[in-house]
Amino acid sequence: HTLPGAVSSESQAAVIKCAQELAPKIDAFYLTQQAGVNKETLPQIVAAMTDSKIPTFSQAGPDEVRLGILLSVATPDFRGLGRFHADIIAKIINGAKPRDLNQIFELPVKSAFNAATGKKIGLKPEIYDLLLRSSVEVYGEKEVGR
């Protein structure tokens, strides 16, 4: 865990060390959004996991998949959620009762797959093909000759 704000070189080193120590001991790795995961540390996190053939999943989304994380199913942005809440607030201001309004909103998700990482970690062919066909965004295809 790193604190928000400026990230020290010590905390970046700790994040990298953690990934390197965990990689040989785990079956999968879920990379959450936090200050210690950034453009300086991500390549080393990816390398540690890929070298150990660990499937990686990103909370942050397609940008991290583009940089080597295997897979992400994430919300690309929150504009739809903002619009939903703005519409609800406007209806309430104009006299609607909150209990009469639909309060369910499902954010669209975007799946992203890094085909090169899939090959590097040795995904089973049927899983690889399924992810290749079903993902909205696919990265690293040129490296694997699709």
pLDDT tens-place values along the chain, 146 residues long: 555 566 788 889 999 999 999 999 999 999 998 888 999 999 999 999 999 999 999 998 899 999 999 999 977 677 888 999 999 999 999 999 999 999 998 877 789 999 999 999 999 999 999 999 999 999 986 555 44
Per-residue confidence (pLDDT) for residue 121, from 0 to 100:
98
Distance of CA 134 to CAs 9, 41, 70, 71, 109, Å?
Answer: 39, 29, 14, 12, 13
Per-residue confidence (pLDDT) for residue 134, from 0 to 100:
93
- Cα–Cα distance, 4 to 36 (Å, whole number): 9
**Please, which residues have CB within 8 angstroms of residue 135's CB and are 6 or more apart in sequence?**
71, 111, 112, 113
The token pair at 7 is 């990230």
Per-residue confidence (pLDDT) for residue 146, from 0 to 100:
41
Tell which residue, 124, 119, 121, has the closest CA to residue 140. 119
Size of the chain, expressed as the number of residues it contains: 146
